Amino acid sequence: MPDIAIVGAGFIGLASAAALMRDGHRVTLFDPSGVGQGASFGNAGTFAHYACIPVNNPSVFRDLPRFLLSNDSPFRLRWRYLPQLAPWLARFLMSSLPRRYEASAGALAALLGRAQDGYAPLLANEELGRFVRPRECLYLYSNAASFDAARPALDLRRKHGVAFDLLAGDDIRALEPSLAPIFERGVLFSDSWHFSNPLGFLETLYEQLAAQGLKLERATVSAVQPYADGASVTADGSERRFSHVVIATGARSAQFARQCGDTVPLDTERGYHVRYPGAQQLISRPVGWAERGFYMTPMSDGIRVAGTVELGGFSDTRNRSLIDLLTFSSKRALPALGTPDNDWLGFRPTLPDGVPVLGRSRASERVIYAFGHQHLGLTLAGVSGRIVADLIARRAPPLDLAPYAATRF
């Protein structure tokens, strides 16, 4: 069977490797940081099959001034980055118009509806399945006005087949008694789950695949070159030829798409988390606070509080005000929390319409794209890996890929 290269060793890259190796291919991963060290390391750990509402939605026209000016806003913009961001931001606002927003929601819902099936081959493995915690996600609103503003999005979720229950304050406290009594309404999303340790899941998956022949090269890829009969990867100055190359390197994928004939308006969301060690017994499920834009997820080593959005490129300088906001807000929601012992900054890929890129490159069918999953890389890893394998095997993928094509831009 042919040799295949995957650029990126996060959730999408590892799930693609697993699907390709089930088909009998030889696979080499390229990632200078190793397995799961990018955005896959610090996510909220939630299987969010309900998350078909893109960030680009009509409410941004109402809420953007407040988001930019409020001290408790979960959204920030680094103003010196604005000249570089301006073209992306214009596309984002255009994508927030009702017709385009509804098209994005439909495209996300079509993928999310197949997300559990995509994970099925992975979670059938007992060693991988032990990382799954099958508890529904609870999403909370601290006042009735916020909940009422969210009703159109909830209606759209229901239209796309998302099942959920609406909860009053007493229902919330019965489910999670350690929460502060400040939440008036809640939404409990059926059949959702989370990982107890996302990195542990990826490391275990990698170890199993490595035992079957998967190779990992901790090398920096600088170029991808398509050819008539394959494609090459240039890593640490050395060019290597493969039958196919898969681009699954998240927020750093745009340069490789350009090399393969596609200009994709990919930018970066800087996301944060803090960890409270040993506090995981305080809640039994992922809990999100809608107005503050974060999740609290019980994991094997404590509670991870993950969220916020900062548009500002790849600078590694952390915004302490966002870390402080996560800390303050989480302790407001869950008063028994102590002191976080670490914080983290990662770079999520973000596209103006909130929909990932999945499909073949313009220059060659031998280069496959699987990037731009924004907040849904963990959730969509299984189905994305299946699509990658289907394209390389020339099988019909499980859905029409036109809404996810790089050429849509």
The mean pLDDT value of the chain amounts to: 95
Would you put residue 32 in left (φ > 0), alpha (ψ -120 to 50) or beta? alpha
Share of the chain above pLDDT 70, in %: 99
pLDDT for 2: 63
| pLDDT higher than threshold 60 for residue 1 | no
Pairing outcome for strands 302-311 and 75-77: parallel
Give the pair of three-digit tokens for residue 180. Answer: 């502060």
Helix (H) or strand (E) holding 41: none
Per-residue pLDDT, averaged over 66-92, amounts to: 86
Give the pair of three-digit tokens for residue 221. Answer: 């890829």
Please report which confidence band the pLDDT of residue 197 belongs to, taking 50, 70 and 90 as the band edges: very high
pLDDT for 274: 98
Helix (H) or strand (E) holding 162: none
* pLDDT digit string, tens, across residues 2-43: 699 999 999 999 999 999 999 999 999 999 999 999 999 999
pLDDT for 196: 98
Give the pair of three-digit tokens for residue 314. Answer: 């790849």
**CA 50 to CA 135: how far, in whole Å?**
14
Please report which confidence band the pLDDT of residue 69 belongs to, taking 50, 70 and 90 as the band edges: low
Please report which confidence band the pLDDT of residue 59 belongs to, taking 50, 70 and 90 as the band edges: confident
Specify the 3-state DSSP secondary structure of 141: strand
Pairing outcome for strands 302-311 and 294-299: antiparallel
| pLDDT higher than threshold 60 for residue 320 | yes
pLDDT for 57: 86
**CA 239 to CA 58: how far, in whole Å?**
46
349 or 72, higher pLDDT: 349
**CA 242 to CA 53: how far, in whole Å?**
37
| pLDDT higher than threshold 80 for residue 340 | yes
Nearest to 30 by CA among 267, 219, 234: 219
DSSP-derived letter for residue 196 is S
| pLDDT higher than threshold 80 for residue 358 | yes
How do the residues of the chain divide into helix, strand and coil, expressed in percent and rounded to 5?
40, 25, 35
Nearest to 341 by CA among 409, 406, 291, 273: 273
Per-residue pLDDT, averaged over 134-146, amounts to: 96
* pLDDT digit string, tens, across residues 114-135: 999 999 999 999 999 999 999 9
pLDDT for 71: 73
400 burial level (CB within 10 Å; 0-12, 13-18, 19+):
exposed
* pTM of structure: 0.96
* pLDDT digit string, tens, across residues 143-177: 999 999 999 999 999 999 999 999 999 999 999 99
Domains with residue ranges and CATH for the chain? 58-95+133-191+266-350 (3.30.9.10)
- Residue length of the chain: 409
Per-residue pLDDT, averaged over 273-280, amounts to: 97
Q: What are phi and psi of 353, to 5 degrees?
A: -100, 0
* pLDDT digit string, tens, across residues 283-298: 999 999 999 999 999 9
DSSP-derived letter for residue 38 is S
Nearest to 18 by CA among 112, 111, 124: 124
Helix (H) or strand (E) holding 327: helix 320-333
